[in-house]
Chain A
Amino acid sequence: MGQNPYSPHTDADRAAMLARVGITSVDDLLAAIPHDARRPAMGVPAGMSEAEVQVHLERIAALDRTAGAGPFFIGGPVQRRYIPAAVPVLALRGEFLTAYTPYQPEVSQGTLQAIWEYQSLLSELLAMDVVNSSMYDGSTAVAEAALMAVRLTGRKRVVVANEVFSQFRQTLATYAKGPELEIVAVPSRELAANAAGAACLIVQHPDAFGTLVDVRAIAEAAHLSGGLCVQVTEPHANALLEPPGALGADIVVGEGQPLGIPLSFGGPHLGIMGCRDALVRQMPGRIVGQTVDSDGTRGFVNTLQTREQHIRREKATSNICTNEAIAAITASVYLSLMGPRSLRAAARIGVARAHALASRLAKLPSVTIGTGAPYFDRFALRTPLGGELRTALLADGILVGEGIGRHYADCGDGVTIQCTELTTDADLDALVGAVERATARHPVARS
């Protein structure tokens, strides 16, 4: 005994506890377990001291190339952005991190007020009526938005743009297998023409390649045919671009990781989901509401819970229970530290760097940037190397986005280049030089 360093029981404690129960061994409590299944070997190596486990993990972590170790242009739904020092210090305090879902509001006001403030901050940023307290990530938020539109319209056809992030579209396709929805994928420019009979049109703006999309026209087309407009957004773009609520979107979803949450190899992140007031009873996920206690003091509680699985069971809006609350609190701390000024600055720097970089790259022979349409803080970079440019640049220690041809239909090939406030002038120089060398080496480019 004494094998679990977090178990406080001494042998004397255990003996006293067994005596109180009136048994001599825990085995006496396990009679219901089939004999041949008892005390299985699990194949787990022997335990380690805290110091040993720290060294072991440091060695494994050292095998990874970190984003900050060199020029880094990967982005998309997950973005390397500056995280103010106070963000983890506050959001990861044990009082938040080691609390449960706030089912006992009298002793959970910290969580509840922080989440209600998150809902408020995101509602302002997105200009939407209401935002829930989080979904798992951007991809599941997109899938749940489609299911919500299906419930609201009674239609089973969902039209999604090809230029929505590939992970989001693939997750949507998986979720659609449950209720057997028809998923139709078309280029963004053809969404409006496919509105007839659709529960919703799903548009991303800025899209996967940073291109700005006319959401208003798509929302109008959806509404004219009795469907809904679902807009996939990203947080920083809303600091500079007209927000979804002002563009006619009925449901807005997106990946909230850029709001102060570490890259962490893809999770845990933050699924953002908001909608118009009239639709809130079909929105999945927990929602916090304001009220008062019996003394008349302001307080907050989980509300509209009859939408949820613990009450409505098979008739619930979703099965979601555990969500990403601490990520929502993190986003809230991030936005309150950044304020409108630093948030705008972060967004602007990404835009400025991306455009500066694009204009330098465009001067290289056999390089094409984007589609000619306006873009935000990332763009498609096309060269004769296609997606292989990625491998060529990696040899120079430069990381760029995924090959386009592998993940997107009808979007050509190439790589995506993302800039943020952490992209430096030296990074730009390194990328321009490396692209020039890589394309110059390539036979097609030379000819």
Chain B
Amino acid sequence: MSRIRFETGTKTELPALEPLLFELQQPGRSGRHVRGGDEADALIPAAFRRTAPLPLPELTEPQVVRHYTHLAQLNYSVDAGMYPLGSCTMKYNPKINDRAASLPGFADIHPHQPDETVQGALRLVHELQELLAGISGMDEVTLQPAAGAHAEFTAILMFKAYHAARGDAKRRRVIVPDSAHGTNPASAAMCGFDVTTVKSDARGNVDLDALTAALGDDVVGFMLTNPNTLGLFEERVREVCDAVHRAGGLVYGDGANLNALLGVARPGDLGFDCVHINVHKTFSTPHGAGGPGAGPLCVKKPLAPFLPVPRVIRDGSGTYRRETMAEHPNSIGRVRSYVGNFGVLVRAYTYIRTLGEEGLVETGRDAILAANYLLALVREGYDVAYERSPMHEFVLTAAKQKRHGANALDIAKALIDEGFHPPTVYFPLVVPEALMIEPTETEPKETLDAFADALLRIAKRIETDPQSVHDAPVKAPLRRLDEVAAARKPVLRYRPA
């Protein structure tokens, strides 16, 4: 991150780090990326022609390059430093994965090309389907969902189709734990279902009594993250799954925390009926400032007939093809265009083949070790939400700091001044003043030590001078931003003064 302000000579509407494209532009300036086609205007009937102005900025390429270079320098990123966001698995993103995705044979092929012209892409998709089935312990895989939440929606819609195919139309409720990601209840609601929340017990597990009480013959299924969002392995996961199954429901595995289970245990062996994989977490594909990701959904056989189309199969002669809707009359249909976020899937495939079986096993174990080590270092300064060995992440509470007048947000902002990206704060909702920390397996021990030192320094500062963290950050490109003003009078686009 840069705190240098680059002089452009451009006047901005307000004091600013970098002018807007619209402030940098001058009519008449522009490059020559494409030219010609003037005869086209006469080919479009007047009634359809654009009469509205087209006030896109006019800039030269050097200006554009500097603008985005300056903007890039205002960002914190995994390439720059430790990014310990709990639940997000911000591990290092290998560059070979990006290069693989940009090979012309992968980047320059159109989804409408006939199968015989894209045998390489189809082979990769098919191999990845098989690899993910093996890693998750499931039978069949769709690579279509664009993200974890999209996979949740896909699966709950499949649950609906599964129950309907059995003539069971009375099921209207999806159960989620109180520690669940917000996407879980939102996905259930998009499928037209009501949501029942069950509480966690004192050890951070699903409260089995509360779950049993909530179950009934109107329950579609239960959505469970394991390890859960507290970073804890569900100690009675099989009993939980059995209870749901006894009530005729299905168990959805939210795979957000699958990094902890790589080579450690497979959701398919624990009682889940399906699980999604966030390849942008577990399989090292870049988060892209918010996306794209990919959310392959892996299911057990009974759910397979309802999977979206198309998937890729390999026929007897060794050629690959995309299946059609006609072959899968019970499919829920497609949940998006085409076979999935292919460019992201190529990266995940590259990562899995690079690491291999033993590398994946080491990944899960190193991620768990890193989290436990970091927790051992910081616990002298902070209260731990649940006194149990975590898996790949852990949740602290800033309750102690709050008594001194500083909260989780203050600690997050103080970490920025220490040179680190803050952890996830105020989630999960069941922990007051939560700080959710996931170091991942790719941070060296000395970085973990430095991060722990920073957290402990902040805890000391709060004891002696809590006011000082209220002013943080002071070393970031900007001070704290006024989110209230942004929401009260939304300014969502540029409009000329």
Instruction: Determine if chain A interacts with chain B.
Output: yes
Give the distance in Å from the alpha carbon of A111 to the alpha carbon of B1 in the complex: 12
Contact check, B366 vs A322: say whether CB atoms are below 8 A apart: no
Residues of A within 8 A of B181 (CB): 309-310, 321
6 further A-B contacts with Cβ under 8 Å, apart from A267-B344, A309-B181, are A67-B108, A100-B421, A242-B50, A264-B107, A294-B482, A345-B34
Residues of A within 8 A of B344 (CB): 267-268
Residues of B within 8 A of A266 (CB): 110-111, 337-340, 342
Give the distance in Å from the alpha carbon of A315 to the alpha carbon of B194 in the complex: 10
List A residues 71-124 near B (Cβ within 8 Å): 72, 74, 76-78, 80, 82, 84, 86, 88-102, 104-111, 113-117, 119-121, 123-124
List B residues 178-194 near A (Cβ within 8 Å): 181-183, 185-192, 194
Give the distance in Å from the alpha carbon of A353 to the alpha carbon of B294 in the complex: 36
Give the distance in Å from the alpha carbon of A425 to the alpha carbon of B246 in the complex: 67
Residues of B within 8 A of A299 (CB): 17, 478, 481
For residue A8, CB closer than 8 A to chain B, the reply is yes
For residue B403, CB closer than 8 A to chain A, the reply is no
Contact check, B106 vs A64: say whether CB atoms are below 8 A apart: yes
Contact check, B289 vs A54: say whether CB atoms are below 8 A apart: no
Q: Which of the 9-residue segments B207-215, B263-271, B297-305, B457-465 touches chain A?
A: B263-271
For residue A426, CB closer than 8 A to chain B, the reply is no
For residue A37, CB closer than 8 A to chain B, the reply is yes
Known pairs A65-B109, A242-B48; A95 contacts B72 (CB<8 A): yes
Residues of A within 8 A of B491 (CB): 289-291
List A residues 402-439 near B (Cβ within 8 Å): 402, 421
Interface size on B, residues (CB 8 A): 207
Q: How far is the CB of B154 from chain A (nearest CB, A)?
A: 9
For residue A177, CB closer than 8 A to chain B, the reply is yes
Q: How far is the CB of B157 from chain A (nearest CB, A)?
A: 6
Give the distance in Å from the alpha carbon of A340 to the alpha carbon of B391 in the complex: 53
> Nearest residue in B to A170 (C-beta to C-beta)?
B334
Give the distance in Å from the alpha carbon of A14 to the alpha carbon of B234 in the complex: 26
Contact check, A124 vs B477: say whether CB atoms are below 8 A apart: no
Q: How far is the CB of B489 from chain A (nearest CB, A)?
A: 9
- Partner of B493 from A66, A104, A116 at Cβ < 8 Å: A116
Residues of A within 8 A of B263 (CB): 39-40, 42
For residue B166, CB closer than 8 A to chain A, the reply is no
Give the distance in Å from the alpha carbon of A130 to the alpha carbon of B495 in the complex: 11
- Partner of A106 from B149, B186, B335, B478 at Cβ < 8 Å: B478
Kindly list the 7 A-B residue pairs having the minimum CB-CB distance in the complex, ordered from nearest.
A61-B105, A266-B338, A47-B356, A348-B37, A266-B111, A63-B120, A325-B290
Contact check, B100 vs A57: say whether CB atoms are below 8 A apart: yes
For residue A396, CB closer than 8 A to chain B, the reply is no
Contact check, B76 vs A292: say whether CB atoms are below 8 A apart: no
Give the distance in Å from the alpha carbon of A304 to the alpha carbon of B485 in the complex: 11
Contact check, A50 vs B36: say whether CB atoms are below 8 A apart: no
Contact check, A287 vs B265: say whether CB atoms are below 8 A apart: no
Contact check, B152 vs A319: say whether CB atoms are below 8 A apart: yes
For residue B382, CB closer than 8 A to chain A, the reply is no
For residue B243, CB closer than 8 A to chain A, the reply is no
For residue B171, CB closer than 8 A to chain A, the reply is no
Residues of B within 8 A of A96 (CB): 72, 75, 77, 288-289
Contact check, A78 vs B14: say whether CB atoms are below 8 A apart: no
Contact check, B494 vs A120: say whether CB atoms are below 8 A apart: yes
Residues of A within 8 A of B49 (CB): 240-242
For residue B121, CB closer than 8 A to chain A, the reply is yes
Q: How far is the CB of B466 from chain A (nearest CB, A)?
A: 18
Residues of A within 8 A of B473 (CB): 106-107
Contact check, A44 vs B356: say whether CB atoms are below 8 A apart: yes
For residue B91, CB closer than 8 A to chain A, the reply is yes
Contact check, B355 vs A4: say whether CB atoms are below 8 A apart: yes
- Partner of A120 from B22, B72, B288 at Cβ < 8 Å: B22
> Nearest residue in B to A214 (C-beta to C-beta)?
B47
For residue B104, CB closer than 8 A to chain A, the reply is yes
For residue A46, CB closer than 8 A to chain B, the reply is yes
Residues of B within 8 A of A152 (CB): none
- Partner of A47 from B35, B355, B412, B478 at Cβ < 8 Å: B355
Known pairs A20-B373, A319-B190, A374-B44; A245 contacts B52 (CB<8 A): yes
Contact check, A341 vs B50: say whether CB atoms are below 8 A apart: no
Residues of A within 8 A of B354 (CB): 5, 47-48, 50, 53
For residue B450, CB closer than 8 A to chain A, the reply is no
Most buried by A among B59, B280, B366: B366
Residues of A within 8 A of B77 (CB): 94-99
Residues of B within 8 A of A45 (CB): 353, 356-357
Q: How far is the CB of B72 from chain A (nearest CB, A)?
A: 4
Residues of A within 8 A of B486 (CB): 289-291, 301, 303
Known pairs A114-B68, A140-B146, A421-B37; A33 contacts B265 (CB<8 A): yes
Contact check, A268 vs B341: say whether CB atoms are below 8 A apart: yes
Residues of A within 8 A of B18 (CB): 109, 113
For residue A278, CB closer than 8 A to chain B, the reply is no
Contact check, A9 vs B366: say whether CB atoms are below 8 A apart: yes
Contact check, A321 vs B69: say whether CB atoms are below 8 A apart: no
Contact check, B123 vs A60: say whether CB atoms are below 8 A apart: yes
For residue B200, CB closer than 8 A to chain A, the reply is no
For residue B255, CB closer than 8 A to chain A, the reply is no
Q: How far is the CB of B251 from chain A (nearest CB, A)?
A: 15
Give the distance in Å from the alpha carbon of A254 to the alpha carbon of B434 in the complex: 39
Contact check, A86 vs B441: say whether CB atoms are below 8 A apart: no
For residue B350, CB closer than 8 A to chain A, the reply is yes
Contact with A along B128-153 (1 / 0, CB 8 A): 00110011010000000011111011
Give the distance in Å from the alpha carbon of A171 to the alpha carbon of B186 in the complex: 19
Contact with B along A120-136 (1 / 0, CB 8 A): 11011101011101101
Give the distance in Å from the alpha carbon of A198 to the alpha carbon of B131 in the complex: 45
Residues of B within 8 A of A34 (CB): 237-238, 265, 269-270
> Nearest residue in A to B96 (C-beta to C-beta)?
A50
Residues of B within 8 A of A267 (CB): 111, 146, 292, 336-344
List B residues 5-20 near A (Cβ within 8 Å): 12-18, 20
Contact check, B487 vs A304: say whether CB atoms are below 8 A apart: yes
For residue B479, CB closer than 8 A to chain A, the reply is yes
Q: How far is the CB of B87 from chain A (nearest CB, A)?
A: 11
Give the distance in Å from the alpha carbon of A216 to the alpha carbon of B137 in the complex: 53
Contact check, B76 vs A61: say whether CB atoms are below 8 A apart: no
- Partner of A3 from B41, B189, B358, B427 at Cβ < 8 Å: B358
- Partner of A242 from B51, B74, B443 at Cβ < 8 Å: B51
Give the distance in Å from the alpha carbon of A371 to the alpha carbon of B238 in the complex: 61
For residue A246, CB closer than 8 A to chain B, the reply is yes
Residues of B within 8 A of A80 (CB): 108, 110
For residue A288, CB closer than 8 A to chain B, the reply is yes
Residues of B within 8 A of A333 (CB): 64, 68
For residue B376, CB closer than 8 A to chain A, the reply is yes
Residues of A within 8 A of B165 (CB): none
For residue A220, CB closer than 8 A to chain B, the reply is no
Q: How far is the CB of B56 from chain A (nearest CB, A)?
A: 5
For residue B282, CB closer than 8 A to chain A, the reply is no
Contact check, B183 vs A46: say whether CB atoms are below 8 A apart: no
Contact with B along A328-364 (1 / 0, CB 8 A): 0100010111111111111111111001000000000
> Nearest residue in B to A133 (C-beta to C-beta)?
B290
Give the distance in Å from the alpha carbon of A4 to the alpha carbon of B148 in the complex: 25
Contact check, A321 vs B343: say whether CB atoms are below 8 A apart: no
Residues of A within 8 A of B39 (CB): 348, 352
Q: How far is the CB of B237 from chain A (nearest CB, A)?
A: 8
Q: How far is the CB of B322 from chain A (nearest CB, A)?
A: 10
For residue A399, CB closer than 8 A to chain B, the reply is yes
> Nearest residue in B to A77 (C-beta to C-beta)?
B337
Give the distance in Å from the alpha carbon of A38 to the alpha carbon of B261 in the complex: 10
Contact check, A351 vs B492: say whether CB atoms are below 8 A apart: no
Give the distance in Å from the alpha carbon of A399 to the alpha carbon of B116 in the complex: 12
